[in-house]
Structure 1
Amino acid sequence: METHNFSIEFFPPKTAEGAEKLRVVREKLALLNPKYFSVTFGAGGSTQQGTLDTVLEIKQAGYVAAPHLSCVGGTRESIRAILQQFKENGIDRLVALRGDLPSGYGGGGEFRYANELVEFIRAETGDWFHIEVAAYPEVHPQARSPQDDMQNFARKVKAGANAAITQYFYNADAYFAFMDEARKLGVDVPVVAGIMPITNYTQLMRFSDMCGAEIPRWVRLKLASYGDDSASIKAFGLDVVSQMCERLLKGGAPGLHFYSMNQAVATTALWERIAGR
């Protein structure tokens, strides 16, 4: 796995207790030697300070940290100020996103799409930041069509992104088909596969409905059949996801980005299963 780009995502804790728990999780996951830790970003200011605080703490602990930056509802001035803060603190890696539209959102803000944010970051800061953008192998839930979604992705890359991270998925063929289409459009940046460990059936169904990630029918039925047997859900989830990860890496995926949900156990188990083969 050393030749692959392996990274782990956290969300900013909302309480002192959550922050202490994340420190313990971070130290456990740091033993896996990821390339960087990314930290998600709340639209409309909800966790923007939390993102910066978490990123600075990761950096002070001696690891590479990449804040997420979403532009929905942001102004050029507010985004410029955030970029300045990152630069002043020596942060040179970013995940640039449009971000989720808040409910009742009626427009506003000076950025409509992530490609406009990427262009702005490049215009303001040149090559200071290594910029990752999002990719959707199973099509963004708000896209007008798969073709339209692919054009949007190509625009983000052409605006100056260095690489991309996908939404999570459980069908490796979706990733390979997406990559074929992207290459046809001349997109040649690395696209790292986003990986969501399976630990809780109900939570997974809720997340997947929200973000448009498909859970294959056979996986869904098997998970449902275990009921409250959490050990069986986790063991089956580990088998399914680790086999997919191996197939992705063998098929040319440049790396894996784990959505840790601020937990260490599932990501560690997956990493050990993949690295041990």
Structure 2
Amino acid sequence: MTRYVLHLGAHRTGSTSLQTVLDGLSQEIAPAKVLTPPRPDKRSTATIREVLGDAVRAHRSRNPLTRWTGLRRSRTDLAALTGGADRVILSEEMLLGPAFKRDGRGLYPEADARLRAARALLRDSPERLHLTIRSYASFIVSVYAMRAVFAGNLPPFDQIAQRLCDPEAGWPDLIDVIQRVFPGTPLHIAVLEDTRLEDRVRDLLGDWARIEEIRDPGGVNAAPTTEAIRAALSMSRGAYDPDCLVADHAGGTRFDPLETADKERLSQRYQNDLDRLRRRGDLVWVSRP
């Protein structure tokens, strides 16, 4: 039986840098296998994101036969990606789905359905789960910026700012969802502001491999500028190359649309939620050595 460790993201918490490091270590941690999603240097490569997407669609079907055949096909595709490895590190932000709805509501509103599809795909619970969280204010702004450029089909920020700045759920709610789907599975939590990339990579690897040096690739998947976002919102999806658009406007203005009052309110909510989470005894906290 394949043993999995799942890194769930979240979005804009250094996941791409972590995945870049993991892919670079693939030979050093062999025979364990690393599965990561597409990024600018591997857009045309078959990745775990496609398999997970197919599994989600199959799992949502109301037709039992469609659901069974779809999951069976997804499991075959997953086996091809793992190559028969008995240990697999799977890092994919879309295991949780989109961070919010198109109108700005929710915090990972599809997480429950997508995680249940992932569990059906894997057949059993993974060995460990990992999640990195960050301040709500910076998270909301950064996720909006990336989604506006790479996914498109979003209203301007100010039209949905009220919902984005008053999320219906927070990190404790998402963690509750994860634990309901994977009861009893150790859940490791990293706070982006308090941990280094090296800390998160080593915690994810656990005792699978002893890597002497882990270097932060730096500058990976930088947030789009205000000018890049404005250009993306003025065009229809598919009418431009997102990577090129981000690069063309890289020297623009930092996207910072929140009012001071919103930042302070979100910062206080984040601190309150962190305090709540740290009082719980069912989480493993990633920290600097």
TM-score by length of 1: 0.36
More strand by share: 1
Q: Which structure is higher in RCO with an 8 Å CA cutoff and minimum separation 6? A: 2
TM-score by length of 2: 0.35
